[in-house]
Structure 1
Amino acid sequence: MSSKFTELAIDCADPAGLARFWCSVLGYEVQDEDDGIVTIGSPLAPEGKDRPGPVPPALTFARVPEGKSVKNRLHIDVNPTDRDQDEEVRRLLELGAQHADVGQSGEESWVCLTDPEGNEFCVLASRRP
């Protein structure tokens, strides 16, 4: 048997605010909120945790005192499901994302953005149902 990826922990200054942003990006909902930690996940995830196979990973936001100081070594990639990449980038910018310069050449098929606390993520070009 192997492990399955069920959760990604993200340190931040404002767990509730960052959770709201990512809920809007991913169509997730808050699953738990307690003492500076907020966990969000797919509305289908709770009953799926006990089943074999892929489970949409939860995101846990934990308040930490230090701020972000360098480029992330790990980041999230998102795929638009019901619109093209340009439309999705516009939607995410309206939610509070910002464009990020991480040394792109301009020839990439993805767009680099940051969430409201500066964590980099990419919007891929292809749509996935």
Structure 2
Amino acid sequence: MPLSFQVVVDCADPHTLADWWAETLGWDVEPSNEDFIRKMIAEGHADEADTKTHNGVLVWRDGAAVVHPDGRTAGPGARILFQKVPEPKTVKNRVHLDLDVGQDHVEAELERLTARGATFLHRGQEGPSNWVTITDPEGNELCLH
């Protein structure tokens, strides 16, 4: 039986990073269910310290997600969860996202994303394939090809 999955990114500021990735991918930040959050607090399953306000909306403090515009009907991998962790990133990612922007658009995407806080790392090539490796604002690697 095939399994569904989501990609999870450890980070320091889940909501800000989710906003960055949503704009980068053309995806949507998953909406917060403020009524559900308030209910969990009222029932004692959570407290105010578990929440914060981001862009005027009550959200869970330690997590945010982005979803494909077609929602979960887009299939496995149509959701990326950003979760807060206490330690900073210290080594290269063992898993990263490759964004297929089309070879004619790599330079424009590189310029767009570095203007928004990405950092250029290097260019790579293997046979006829080439790519650019960058990081998001928290240092997580991704490739443009």
> TM-score, normalised to structure 2's length?
0.71
2:70 to 44, 58, 68: 44
Question: SS of 1:110's equivalent?
Answer: strand
Residue equivalent to 1:122: 143
Q: Structure 1 stretches (4+) deviating beyond 2 angstroms? A: 54-57
Q: Higher strand fraction: Structure 1 or Structure 2?
A: 2
Q: Shift of the alpha carbon at 1:56?
A: 4.8
Gaps of 5+ in 2: 33-58
Question: SS of 2:19's equivalent?
Answer: helix
Q: Is the Cα–Cα contact under 8 Å of residues 38 and 61 in structure 1 kept in the other structure?
A: yes
**Over aligned residue pairs, what C-alpha RMSD do you find?**
2.1
Q: Shift of the alpha carbon at 1:55?
A: 4.2
Q: Shift of the alpha carbon at 1:79?
A: 1.2
CA distance in structure 1 between the partners assigned to 2:23 and 2:107 by the alignment = 17
Q: Higher helix fraction: Structure 1 or Structure 2?
A: 2
CA distance in structure 1 between the partners assigned to 2:76 and 2:83 by the alignment = 21
Gaps of 5+ in 1: 125-129
- Equivalent pairs counted in the alignment come to 115
1:4 aligns with 2:4: yes
What are the within-5 Å matches in structure 2 for residues 9-48 of structure 1? 9-31=8-30, 32=32, 33-46=59-72, 48=73
Letter in 2 for 1:2: P
> Which shows bigger deviation, 28-37 or 113-122?
28-37
CA distance in structure 2 between the partners assigned to 1:3 and 1:122 by the alignment = 25
Higher-Rg structure is: 2
CA distance in structure 1 between the partners assigned to 2:8 and 2:125 by the alignment = 31
> TM-score, normalised to structure 1's length?
0.79
What are the within-5 Å matches in structure 2 for residues 81-100 of structure 1? 84-100=105-121
1:80 to 91, 97, 101: 101
Residue equivalent to 1:127: none
